[in-house]
Amino acid sequence: MSHPLQTRWIDIAPGFAGYLALPPAGQGPGLVLFQEIFGVNEHIRAVAEQYALDGFTVLAPDMFWRQAPRVELGYEGEQRDRGRALMTALQPQQVLDDIAASVAALRALPPCAGKAGAIGYCLGGRLAYLAAATAGVDAAVAYYGGGIHGQLDRAAAIRCPVQFHYAGHDEHIPPAAVQQVREAFAGRAGSEVHVYPGSMHGFNCWARASYHAPSAALAHGRSLQFLAQALMQAG
């Protein structure tokens, strides 16, 4: 039996590539998957395939392409430090340009049928939020996106529903930051903020010591319901 998915790297712009995963049906709503600080590594590619199996056409852009094309990093020690350095070196306007280019490239693909959303983890959670604010996606899901509370001035520009997932114990994102996000999106139709008691930053990544299966499963189910309603239903 052949594998139900087709996957490959594609060019988004000269030198800028992304990992594409197509659903078994060959087409579906688009989903831009934004990486953690560890690159489009084995885990992120597996997440792309996970959402492709759920029916989405998924593109995971290599956001470190200018500094370290296709870098794949581990989660501890020097490799984690390198990921942080790569994140720190990102230039804000270039990041926004790359987000816009990724969304546009996905929408232009024939397998991308209908609407397109964004999802991301850690660094990628912030990028998914920025995609909602600046790139015209139809929905966004942000997992433990550090720094979002510092960019809530962009919330007024967001016209799509946004779903936020936060760990109950996150040394990078204090409860006060989560509360700021909650207050900024209170009353917005379709937007949600979820906090997972007993979990830590990175709880969705099964390759990390902080992986928390109960939280990851619940968050994935909520993400699927949210994205199906926002991207798969007519209207």
Task: Give tens-digit pLDDT for 127-150.
Answer: 999 999 999 999 999 999 999 999
Is 165 noted as a catalytic residue in this protein? Answer: no
Q: Are 61 and 32 in contact (CB under 8 A)?
A: yes
Instruction: Say whether 170 is catalytic.
Output: yes
Would residue 122 show up in a list of annotated catalytic residues for this protein? Answer: yes
Q: Which domains does the chain have, with CATH numbers?
A: 6-232 (3.40.50.1820)
Percent of the chain residues topping a pLDDT of 70: 98
Three-state SS across 49-105? HHHHHCCCEEEEECCCCCCCCCCCCCCCHHHHHHHHHHHHCCCHHHHHHHHHHHHHH
**Which one of 43, 149, 165, 201 is the catalytic residue?**
201
The pLDDT of residue 228: 97
Q: Which candidate in 165, 170, 205, 212 is catalytic?
A: 170
Q: Report the chain's mean pLDDT, rounded to a whole number.
A: 96
| End-to-end Cα, the chain, rounded Å | 37
Q: Tell me: the pLDDT tens digits for 3-56?
A: 789 999 999 999 999 999 999 999 999 999 999 999 999 999 999 999 999 999
Distances (CA, A) of 179 to 60, 170, 176, 184, 198: 29, 13, 5, 9, 18
Please state whether the predicted TM-score (pTM) of the whole model is above 0.75. Answer: yes
Catalytic residue among 122, 138, 149, 165: 122
Triad 177, 183, 187: Cα angle to 5°: 150
